[in-house]
Structure 1
Amino acid sequence: MTDASHRAAVAERAARAGGVVAREQFRGDLSVDSKANKNDLVTETDRDAQRQVVATIRAEFPDDRFLCEEDLSTRAGPEADREPEAVDSVPDSGSLWVIDPIDGTANYVRGMRLWGTAVSAIVDGEPVASVTYLPSYGDLYAAGPENVTRDGTELSVSGRTDPETFAVAPVGWWDRDDRAEFGRLCSAVGDRFGDIRRLGSFQATLAHVADGALEGLVCTRPMAPWDTLAGVHMVRQAGGTVTDLDGEPWTHDSDSVVASNGEAHEAFVAAGNEALRGE
């Protein structure tokens, strides 16, 4: 087994393990806190699921680094005497795991089924494997060195070519003072495409671009690596296009995200620029 294949297998195992922890507590009595604002939620289940993901990975790759959405503390137990090495950005060299234990926590807290556990294996700054597991649906999206699958079936992006038939998602989070930008984005997407979806989980949205359920998404804001890396890798492996609002290939430090099936990509870029700059 190659190193990339090994990492892909471990990413799948870890995402399933963390997703099971979250699924067991779904619609239960949750301990919920807020972070940056009243709607930026975190639960103790996020932390429990993340610990399970990290422990599963460390059993195979004990010396690798981690970039996680939640605090990386392992609490007490056999791992407590040797905490994982945490970083706050994606390094250009070495091995890294990027984890979002519950992507779509707001959906999770409200009892809505669309949320997932996302795991990406990064080597020398680039994804070599990524997984998004949607436990409430039983679907597992996995991108390895050569392709992307859903529950073992190989995927490709939508083959639609007429923008008036496209379903497109405006994605991101705007503070109350910036909500006008979100309104402009919805308007710009609505003017150019056939329909709009807002799912509440960035990784699930990217997975649905990879599997052809959506033709694309537009995000005018910089997003964290745990929100994006897994799904971006999937879209690209499925034959799609991912850029920033300048039309340049997306990287983990880009200030915007535009993902599409590759058809009429310029219309996605134009919609984002209209929202961001009023163009």
Structure 2
Amino acid sequence: MTVPDDASHDGRAAVAEAAAAAGAAVAGEHFRRGIDVERKGGKTNVVTEADRESQRRVIERIRETYPDDAVVGEEEDERKTVPEEGAAWVIDPIDGTNNYVRDIRAFATAVAAVVDGEPVAAATALPAMDDVYLADGSATYRNGTEVTASARTDPETAAVSPTVWWDFDARDEYARACTEVVERFGDMRRFGSAQVTLAMVADGSLDGTITNVRCNPWDTVAGVHMVRAAGGTVTDLDGEPWRHDSRGLVASNGHLHDEVLAAARAIESGGD
């Protein structure tokens, strides 16, 4: 394994937090200010200049300390895959842009540090909610206070979220995901931002989240690290530990993982 200069990764956690805060400040400055909206392809895949400006600010902050690390970013010409060797940063400047352009507060700037393909630190800043999540190698914090995944063991008391996005040619899978959640668990939430959703699993506000699609790393890596550092469990559809290139993502408080995983698997099987 390639070991960076700060073997404990404390330095990377601090930079992740500072970079996420810098990017979130840009997003917050433009929020509800009538910013122009562009489409990257598809009717719901939108982007704004705030996304691009936020990503540039995040990268600038990272480069001050780690000028040679690879950067994986959603916008512009940054690389789109996580390298299997060496140190890298995975950035989503505004996760939940559809919320952002609708003036909904559930959006975030997410920054994860990875080494040899595995996350070692992450931060997610929600500027419109005044929340900042940070995960180092041992714990997850919200606004400086340690948080943990929930302790619920009864599915009928649990709240679970379908997350990421099913395009118009997969709306049957979207419908099955919702059906599985409402038939198996106490209630369903959907926030329109995978990173916000994963942060809520990490702090116990949600008990799980599911998708069967292959997720983009910028939508997921930071939040996955937070859930794990908070004592939760994150796997693929086969129940194997989730990686940045896995198909499907199943995150839970750990106690309910078998039921959450069963719900995710049923999305493609039609509940059979």
* TM-score using structure 1 length: 0.93
Q: Matched residue of 1:17: which SS?
A: helix
Q: Deviations over 1:44-82 (max 9, x none)?
A: 11000000000011011111110000014xxxxxxxxxx
5+ residue gaps, structure 2, are none
Alignment correspondent of 2:237: 245
Q: Is the 8 A contact 2:194 2:219 kept in 1?
A: yes
Instruction: Return the offset for 1:36.
Output: 2.4
Q: Is the 8 A contact 2:164 2:193 kept in 1?
A: no
Alignment correspondent of 2:201: 209
Q: Matched residue of 2:89: which SS?
A: strand
Alignment correspondent of 1:230: 222
1:65 lines up with 2:57 in the alignment: no
Q: Matched residue of 2:12: which SS?
A: helix
Q: Which residue type is aligned with residue 266 of structure 2? A: E
1:270 lines up with 2:262 in the alignment: yes
Q: Which residue type is aligned with residue 65 of structure 1? A: A
Alignment correspondent of 2:43: 38
In 1: Cα distance, 2:34 partner to 2:155 partner: 44
Q: Which residue type is aligned with residue 28 of structure 2? A: R
Instruction: Return the offset for 1:89.
Output: 1.3
- Aligned CA-pair RMSD: 1.1
5+ residue gaps, structure 1, are 73-85
Alignment correspondent of 2:53: 48
In 1: Cα distance, 2:93 partner to 2:145 partner: 24
1:100 lines up with 2:105 in the alignment: no
Instruction: Return the offset for 1:117.
Output: 0.2
Q: Matched residue of 1:113: which SS?
A: coil
Q: Is the 8 A contact 1:172 1:220 kept in 2?
A: no
Instruction: Return the offset for 1:220.
Output: 1.0
Moved over 4 A (4+): none
Q: Matched residue of 1:259: which SS?
A: strand
In 2: Cα distance, 1:96 partner to 1:171 partner: 25
Instruction: Return the offset for 1:22.
Output: 0.7
Alignment correspondent of 2:28: 23
Within a 5 Å distance, the mapping from 1:65-214 to structure 2 comes to: 65-72=70-77, 86-214=78-206
In 2: Cα distance, 1:22 partner to 1:177 partner: 31
Q: Percent identity?
A: 54
In 2: Cα distance, 1:266 partner to 1:184 partner: 18
Q: Matched residue of 1:256: which SS?
A: strand
Q: Matched residue of 1:14: which SS?
A: helix
2:13 to 4, 8, 11: 8
Q: Matched residue of 1:221: which SS?
A: strand
In 2: Cα distance, 1:123 partner to 1:247 partner: 23
Q: Is the 8 A contact 2:74 2:80 kept in 1?
A: no
Q: Which residue type is aligned with residue 159 of structure 2? A: A
Instruction: Return the offset for 1:181.
Output: 0.9
Instruction: Return the offset for 1:124.
Output: 1.4
* TM-score using structure 2 length: 0.95
Q: Matched residue of 2:133: which SS?
A: strand
Q: Which stretch of the first structure deviates more once superposed, 268-277 or 41-50? A: 268-277
Alignment correspondent of 2:252: 260
Q: Matched residue of 1:99: which SS?
A: strand
In 2: Cα distance, 1:97 partner to 1:211 partner: 23
In 1: Cα distance, 2:256 partner to 2:108 partner: 29
Instruction: Return the offset for 1:29.
Output: 2.3
Instruction: Return the offset for 1:263.
Output: 1.4
In 2: Cα distance, 1:202 partner to 1:39 partner: 15
Q: Is the 8 A contact 1:245 1:272 kept in 2?
A: yes
